[in-house]
Structure 1
Amino acid sequence: MRYSGNRGLSAMEDYRFKVNLGGMIEILSEHLYSSPDVFIRELLQNAADAITRRKEIQKKEFEGSITLEIEEKEKLIFADNGQGLMEEEIHRFLAIIGESSKRELTDRSVRRDYIGQFGIGLLSCFMVTDEICLITKSCQSKDAPSLVWRGRPDGTYTIETLQQQDKEALPSPGTKIILAAKEGMEEYFTREILENLITYYGLLLPFPVIIRQNGKEKQINPVYLPWEGRNTNKQELLLFGQMLFGELFLDCLTFRSEEGNVSGVAYILNYTVLPSAKPAHRIYLKHMMLTEKGDGLLPDWAVFTKCIVHATDLKPTASREGFYEDETLDAVRETIENRLIAYIDTMADDQPELFGKFFRVHQLTLMELALANPKLFRTLIDYFEFETTRGTLTGYDLRMCGEDLLYAPTREKYKQLSQLFFAQDQLLINVTYVHALELLEGLGYMFGISVSEVEEEEIEDLMEELAAEEQEKGLEFLNKANKILKDRDCRAELKCFQPANQPAFFLMDEEAVLNRQIAISKNKANSIFREMLNMISSELKGEDAVSMLYLNYNNPIVKNLIRITEEDVLKIFVEIIYIQALQIGGFPLRKNDMATLNQNILLLMERDLADKEE
């Protein structure tokens, strides 16, 4: 830090910030890194960069490798045959927080081959150990000595030179890091945990990563990207995905983006997920596992996938658990999105059986995808299904039927009208399912088809007026029926409609339905809620509510009712027909409706039995 002032100092002096290493480690463990697991990631990254650096220094190929050896008493030896360090480099890169051996590389084409950028990775080892012992031998000189660096969390360190005959001396260039578990961190030094962590973070490293214990060793990784550089077939990719994620997939597809130098595989899930789901992906940077989160890189809607992604030129965040948002990341995301859309589009044409399975499993997600992406809507809309009075129809069926498309906006309205429309082979669509209305309106807009809510006029068009003579015959009956229905806020009309075996059709507008629901709720509510419901109902214009009971003149029962002169008998039949029409239409019944129905049925039975006795 440079300081100047008027205190009589003859010259300015340079000072250095002093860093409390213990506090720095606390920051790393509590704020930068998500868990102690990442010490393996940092060791793998440093080793991978050291191998890359040695290749550049020697200007020739050599077989890089990383070995992790587990010894007794929770001791771990992590070794690589990379560039190694000279003493000056040890002081520079291991003793200055934030310094990195990669920082001196200014050529972007070189820097992009390196995983680490921030020079603090080795400190993560202090989360699991109280001392870091590093033995290193540089590849830059044939006579380079083996050096031992021992660092401690209090900020002190030592360096010593090993003689060639010392058993710890390295015979060839590379670095060996020795760690002993500190109290409470012993689990991170067990074979199972270490093998899982190495597999998780280093599976895609392009050189052997070997774990060794008791003289037995196992190579963890395949040393190549399974989807690049070989004639890998889809079955191999599906087996690789099954091994990595531990589940079977419906299908998979590869993708590549020149921007960011990104490639990978998207696996199609074989089960339904919610549109809000956050799948666990495997996203690698320069062959090293970076994150399971696809935020920013993968399309938000692609929740039906689990992806393996390998990036080379995307910029990691300081914690190396994500990518910086920039134009390159935006371009990569768009490329992956377009690839997924093209896959769905071509699958519908080229693999209809597979598309059928895919569509059935992920229908809800695909609805949202279609609504958000007009270029996919054209393909997907033909496959979405709609409940109609002609059975289940697809979007293709609807756009090819050559009719205007009428829909019922509520489940109750659809239940009311469906029987009437069905009997006359008229099309009515139920849009009360998720996204059904948006999809139907989108279909109408795209193909120039009229889509509208069913109106009273369309309903009345399905009913014929009676001839003048028939109207005159039924006038007295209608007056009596309306008198009977007056207390039920309902009016009766005589019409002719199909089916002939349906004696009546009941229709309520939305306000009448709400009035009925409030009345029913008041009967069940306590005094406080009853007052609230009274306030709500007082604001409604009850005189505008319409409840109609259409009596079918084509029905033999209705024709016989017109001839009945006894008002008490007529009352029984009208009330039965009224309540049955409510039930058929799915309307809520008032408190005494069922009691009235049962009582009237019993009265009819009594009359019938009395007639037989006579």
Structure 2
Amino acid sequence: MSVEAHTETLGFQTEITQLLDLMIHSLYSNKEIFLRELISNGSDAADKLRFEALSDDALYEGDTDLKIWINFDKDARTVTVRDNGIGMSREEVIENIGTIAKSGTQEFFKSLTGDNVKDTQLIGQFGVGFYSCFIVADKVTLSTRRAGLEPSHGVKWESKGDGEYTVETTELQQHGTEVILHLRPDEDEFLSDYQLRSIIKKYSDHITLPIVMPKVLTEEDKDKEEKAPEDEVVNTATALWVRGKGEITDEEYTEFYKHVAHDFEAPLAHLHNKVEGTNEYTTLLFIPARAPFDLWDRTNHRGIKLYVRRVFIMDDNEKLLPPYLRFIRGVVDSNDLPLNISREILQHNRKIETIRSGTVKKILGTLENMAKNEPDKYATFWKEFGRVIKEGVIDDASNKDRIAKLLRFSSSYDDNATPAVSLEDYVGRMKEGQKKIYFVTADSFSAAKNSPHLEIFRKKGIEVILLSDQIDEWLGTHLNEFEGKPLQSVTKGDLDLGDLEDEDEKKEAENASDTLKSVLEGIKTTLGDKVKDVRITHRLTTSPACLVADEQAMDASLERLLKSAGQMVPGTLPIMEINPQHPIVNALKEEADETRFNDWVFMLFDQALLSEGGQLEDPAAFVNRMNEMFVSMGNLSSSRIITFD
């Protein structure tokens, strides 16, 4: 049955046009990667066909010998890459080639600097894929048919990479995909059998699918005027992970990573492990050097490829790794799972659970070893993936203690925005008599570093961990202790420094509370339902006041985070603590004018709220009070008062 030919011209998504222009100019010094990318796509297409054919072997259409063919034509100046994998329908062609559905696309383009060297690395993180063709070709013709569709449902796609492409219905007897690159005038180097074979051996020798090229004819063969040379396999075509570790070079590991991760850079580290016994499986996993742009998409599970006896099953690491390890790339190959295993069976499969548990332990062990023996490399890892690892404290209770040792933080000891302090570091230098690990959470590093809640800790030389990532709000509620030392937020509850408490200071605070009793009552009356209580504090040394949460209440920063996410949060009132040594507090004691007293109280409250990153209910009222105070002090004329309309 034939269908009417249907041709349409479509425009590339704007991001595609930008990406094409960027690649042509930025990746020109490494242009041979186009062949690696096309071979990788062909390999993926074969894997997908094998997987779908597990439930419907008619998809093979009688051709189970899956391969990738590569050829060139000097006269036509073309390079052709063909596979007999799953192929694509018309809709899939438009979706996969005309648009970028990848999460993080906008973030990718925002990160571009205009520096070709730096941008080349960014392009590598994003994955160049099919579009790398246009580095060497001024026109690309793709013909494809999805396995299982009639020959009349073939699709021809063509573009010069100039912002648009054509899609045409065509007749194709063979399922799979063929890509013809019409080379640019100065790309003759790729019209060479030796050059193409060298690129294949360099980048794609590990591909499990046979990559074939026409056999090079000897002079004797040429004399016999053979019509067509036989095909011969160019690559090793053996699964890299089944080989012994000692047989694999670092270069081979790197190229395999680039294949499975579609990355341009070498990985930070790899783990190659073979487990034997009642559950036999092999893992070859990689830790990328940079975070992918879709790292924060917890629904993106495509990082680990699952094989059963070298047959691809799926690329969904949700079953194989917990979400906090979603940045890991690589393969898991089981000898024991059935080939026809489904996603539903995987969900509750004991062998999968064993693989998952063992793999997580291996990854954590690798990170522990890196942290101990390669601190600079671990610092790089933490910069890229630290915030995701923190999710493990919440997601993975069975490994919480191990994960806690991997965490890195900023600290009041050095005020360095780059997290470098471990909990073990902190415990190792706790002051004599210190029983708790103190931390402060805030909306930013600067807010945490300058929090008034740290004043007494700085005075006494007590270290405080500074937390400012959004995930830290949850971290503080799930990581309650470390090596027997409870973690204590310095913004919650009545400050209790235990043996570090100065008895004289404590008595002085108690005396001040008695002396300022009327002031405390006046402040509480003025603020009304804005606060739960007002009390004297000895945690402040320079600030006049601060706001703290009740011991059992939610931190103010967490409450703000939940509200900003649109969640309903039960209302909790803060406790206002005032510094009895501060001149403003002493002035309040002497203030007889009720209006001025109230203005000063609201000013103190608003300042305390601002200092912890909160938002004022009425910013205009705050500014007006401040202006009135300036005027009353005789420092400004009324004509210079700031006003809000």
Give the TM-score taking structure 2 as reference length: 0.50
CA–CA distance in 2 between the matches of 1:490 and 1:440?
Answer: 24
The one of 484, 491, 494 equivalent to 1:456 is 494
Name the CA distance, whole Å, in 1 between partners of 2:286 and 2:553. Answer: 52
Query: In the alignment, is residue 354 of structure 1 matched against residue 377 of structure 2?
Result: yes
Give the aligned partner of residue 417 of structure 1: 453
Q: Secondary structure at the match of 2:581?
A: coil
For residues 423-447 of structure 1, what are the alpha-carbon distances to aligned partners after superposition, in whole Å with 9 as ceiling and x for unaligned? Answer: 5555555678556477667766551
CA displacement at 1:43 relative to structure 2 = 1.3
Q: Give the secondary structure class of the aligned counterpart of 1:455.
A: coil
Matches within 5 A, 1:152-551: 184-185=171-172, 188=175, 191-192=178-179, 203-204=207-208, 210-212=212-214, 215=228, 217=231, 219=233, 221-227=235-241, 228-229=243-244, 231-243=247-259, 245-247=261-263, 248=265, 249-258=267-276, 262-272=281-291, 273-274=295-296, 275-294=298-317, 296=319, 302-312=325-335, 314-317=337-340, 329=352, 331-369=354-392, 377-386=400-409, 390=413, 391=415, 393-400=421-428, 401=430, 402-406=434-438, 417-419=453-455, 421-423=457-459, 425=461, 433=469, 436=472, 445=481, 447-452=483-488, 454-456=492-494, 458=496, 464=506, 478=519, 482=523, 485=526, 497=538, 501-505=542-546, 548=576, 550=578
Q: Deviation at 1:493?
A: 7.4
Aligned counterpart, 2:193 = none
Equivalents in 1 of 2:348, 2:512: separation in Å? 77
* Amino acid in the other structure paired with 1:365: V
Specify whether residues 39 and 445 from structure 1 end up closer, same or farther in structure 2 by C-alpha distance, changes over 3 A only: same
Cα gap change, 1:437/1:465 in structure 2, threshold over 3 Å: closer, same or farther?
same
Are the structure 2 counterparts of residues 554 and 238 from structure 1 closer, same or farther at C-alpha, using a change threshold of 3 Å? same
Instruction: Please list the CA deviations of residues 553-595 of structure 1 after superposition, one character each: whole Å capped at 9, or x if unmatched.
Output: 4334554565566667666655544543443354543436325
Take 1:296 and 1:479, find their aligned partners in 2: how far apart are those partners? Answer: 57
Change in CA separation of 1:321 and 1:224 when aligned onto 2, cut-off 3 Å: farther
Checking the alignment, whether the CA contact within 8 Å between 2:306 and 2:313 is kept in structure 1 is yes
Of all paired residues, the percent bearing the same amino acid is 14
**Structure 1 pair 67–449 and aligned structure 2 pair: CA distance change class (3 A):** closer
Deviations 1:235-279 (A, max 9, x none): 321123324543122222212133565435212223332454312
CA contact (8 A) 2:408 2:422 kept: yes
Q: Is the 8 A contact 1:69 1:77 kept in 2?
A: no
Instruction: Please give the secondary structure, in 1, of the residue aligned with 2:543.
Output: coil
Instruction: Specify the alignment match of 1:83 in structure 2.
Output: none
Work out whether 1:583 is the aligned partner of 2:602: no
Contact 1:212 1:218 in 2 (8 A): yes
Choose the corresponding residue for 1:43, options 61, 64, 85.
Answer: 64
Q: CA deviation at 1:354?
A: 2.5
* SS in structure 2 at match of 1:589: coil
CA separation in 1, counterparts of 2:303 and 2:531?
A: 58
Q: Which runs of 5+ in 2 are unaligned?
A: 1-48, 73-81, 85-145, 153-168, 181-195, 197-202, 216-226, 560-567, 639-645
CA distance in 1, matches of 2:320, 2:334: 10
Distance 1:209 1:387 in 2: 51
CA distance in 2, matches of 1:467, 1:326: 61
Q: Is the 8 A contact 1:407 1:428 kept in 2?
A: yes
Q: What runs of 5+ residues in structure 1 fail to find an aligned partner?
A: 1-27, 48-65, 71-75, 79-123, 131-181, 519-532
**Separation in structure 2 between the aligned mates of residue 303 and residue 38 of structure 1, nearest angstrom:** 32
2:525 and 2:319 map into 1 onto residues whose CA distance is 67
Contact 2:439 2:467 in 1 (8 A): yes
Alpha-carbon distance, 1:186 to partner:
5.8
Q: Which has the larger radius of gyration?
A: 1
Letter in 2 for 1:210: V
1:362 match: secondary structure: helix
**TM-superposition CA deviations, 1:291-315 (whole Å, max 9, x none):** 3334655666542222134455542
Q: Which residue number corresponds to residue 142 of structure 1?
A: none
Q: Structure with the greater relative contact order (CA < 8 A, sep ≥ 6): 1 or 2?
A: 2
RMSD after superposition: 6.0
The yes-or-no answer on 1:593 pairing with 2:631 is: no
Q: Is the CA contact (8 Å cut-off) linking 1:549 and 1:578 kept in structure 2?
A: no
What residue is the counterpart of 2:9 in the other structure?
none
| Deviation of the 1:317 alpha carbon | 0.7
- Structure 2: how far apart are the matches of 1:320 and 1:234? 34
How many residue pairs match? The answer is 435
